[in-house]
């Protein structure tokens, strides 16, 4: 049975955030993204979406449009953790928006021009973002996510042969390869850094969807090829919303990769018009900073 890889699509990248207020300012006011949905959880995720933590946490999805046809950011916040250590695994997210560049300048958000019409900035926590200073396209402005790898050929083999991505572009000089399922979607760029990949404690996760029926076959293929499966096929519940099924994998450099059943995910990811309001409410009610200050303690560094 042939598997239609064109039915797979990139969904989001997961960032751990230690300061929700500064982070919300960056995504809403600098980048000009919208809060698509916000959810609070009392205990850790079965698929470790929030990292290896068992306590209260929240998930906020932000992007330029609905998750059905936009690549977005998933911001996970653990109430007891104020800071995460960056590794050399996440090398940047590139998006096209002259509005974001002018927002950053107006708000005094640090920007560095790396080449003509391309600026580097950072989200709170130190995550690099590249802003292309051109008019925001009517479709998704997010162009690519770049990850560091230690052996480019080995990584290409994994992402193409096992996950079904296509090589869109290769740059021998920069030691990069651009991968995707179809041309119109956000791409994944892998860059050979010539060094072992260190994920720190800030390590993220890239998520894709595929038809639900492909999940067992994907898991079976990984078992057959003796590849890492971090979370075997599991159902994840979100209170009051659709239950989705996921498989979490790891590539040769231990980059976490989530594949989720597309049909249920489209139900789960419906835009909530109250998303921004729910985030603001959660931030207003979050007294964790005050508690730590009162007890003369600092929030943990992960």
Q: In this structure, which CATH number among 3.10.180.10, 2.60.120.380, 1.20.1250.20, 3.40.50.1220 belongs to the domain 5-301?
A: 3.10.180.10
The per-residue pLDDT for 122 is 98
The per-residue pLDDT for 297 is 79
Compute the average pLDDT of residues 48-59.
Answer: 91
pLDDT, the chain, mean = 94
Return the structure tokens found at 284: 């207003």
- Closest alpha carbon to 48 in 199, 231, 202: 231
Listed range (41-50, 54-63, 151-160, 189-198) with the worst mean pLDDT = 41-50
Return d(Cα 67, Cα 241) in angstroms, integer. Answer: 15
Is the pLDDT at 228 greater than 70? The verdict is yes
Is the pLDDT at 217 greater than 90? The verdict is yes
Q: How far is CA 195 from CA 16, 88, 149, 199, 253, in A?
A: 23, 9, 8, 12, 11
**Residue 154: CB atoms within 10 Å:** 14
pLDDT band, very low/low/confident/very high, at 160 (cuts 50, 70, 90) = very high
pLDDT band, very low/low/confident/very high, at 2 (cuts 50, 70, 90) = low
pLDDT band, very low/low/confident/very high, at 46 (cuts 50, 70, 90) = confident
Radius of gyration of the chain (CA): 19
Domains of the chain, by residue range, sit at: 5-301
pLDDT band, very low/low/confident/very high, at 294 (cuts 50, 70, 90) = confident
Find all residues with CB under 8 Å of 37, minimum gap 6, and list them: 60, 61, 269, 270, 271, 272, 275
Is the pLDDT at 25 greater than 90? The verdict is yes
**Residue 38: CB atoms within 10 Å:** 22
Greatest mean pLDDT range, 134-148, 229-243, 288-302: 134-148
Return the structure tokens found at 202: 């800030």
pLDDT band, very low/low/confident/very high, at 175 (cuts 50, 70, 90) = very high
The per-residue pLDDT for 109 is 97
pLDDT band, very low/low/confident/very high, at 287 (cuts 50, 70, 90) = confident
Name the residue with higher pLDDT: 213 or 290.
213
The per-residue pLDDT for 240 is 79
Residue located via tokens 């760029």:
189
| Sign of the torsion formed by the C-alpha atoms of 61, 63, 65 and 66 | negative
Is the pLDDT at 120 greater than 60? The verdict is yes
Is the pLDDT at 234 greater than 80? The verdict is yes
The per-residue pLDDT for 47 is 85
Compute the average pLDDT of residues 213-239.
Answer: 94
Q: What percent of the chain has pLDDT over 70?
A: 99
| Sign of the torsion formed by the C-alpha atoms of 63, 65, 70 and 76 | positive
Compute the average pLDDT of residues 227-246.
Answer: 89
Is the pLDDT at 291 greater than 80? The verdict is no
Is the pLDDT at 292 greater than 80? The verdict is no
The per-residue pLDDT for 278 is 97
Name the residue with higher pLDDT: 292 or 23.
23
pLDDT digits (tens, 9 = 90+) for 125-147: 999 999 999 999 989 999 999 99
The per-residue pLDDT for 288 is 80
């Amino acid at each position: 049975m042939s598997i239609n890889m064109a039915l797979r699509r990139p969904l989001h990248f997961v960032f751990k955030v230690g300061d929700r207020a500064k982070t919300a300012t960056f995504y809403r006011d600098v980048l000009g993204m919208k809060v698509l949905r916000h959810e609070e959880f009392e205990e850790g995720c079965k698929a470790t979406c929030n990292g290896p933590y068992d306590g209260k946490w929240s998930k906020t999805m932000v992007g330029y449009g609905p998750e059905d046809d936009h690549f977005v950011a998933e911001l996970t916040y653990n109430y007891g953790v104020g800071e995460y250590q960056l590794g050399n695994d996440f090398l940047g997210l590139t998006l096209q928006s002259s509005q974001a560049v002018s927002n950053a300048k107006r708000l005094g958000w640090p920007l560095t021009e790396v080449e003509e019409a391309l600026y580097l900035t950072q989200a709170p926590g130190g995550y690099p973002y590249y802003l292309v200073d051109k008019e925001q396209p009517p479709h998704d402005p997010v162009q690519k996510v770049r990850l560091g790898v230690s052996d480019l050929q080995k990584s290409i083999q994994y992402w193409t042969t096992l996950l079904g991505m296509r090589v869109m572009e290769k740059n021998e000089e920069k030691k990069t390869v651009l991968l995707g399922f179809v041309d119109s979607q956000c791409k994944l760029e892998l860059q050979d850094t010539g060094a072992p990949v260190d994920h720190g404690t800030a390590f993220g996760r890239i998520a894709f969807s595929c038809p639900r029926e492909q999940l067992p076959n994907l898991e079976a293929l990984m078992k057959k090829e003796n590849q890492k499966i971090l979370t075997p096929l599991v159902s994840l519940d979100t209170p009051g919303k659709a239950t989705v099924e996921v498989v979490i994998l790891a590539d040769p450099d231990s980059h976490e990769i989530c594949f989720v059943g597309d049909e249920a995910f489209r139900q789960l990811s419906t835009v909530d018009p109250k998303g921004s309001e729910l985030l603001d409410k959660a931030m207003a009610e979050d007294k964790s900073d005050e508690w730590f200050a009162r007890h003369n303690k600092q929030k943990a560094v992960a």
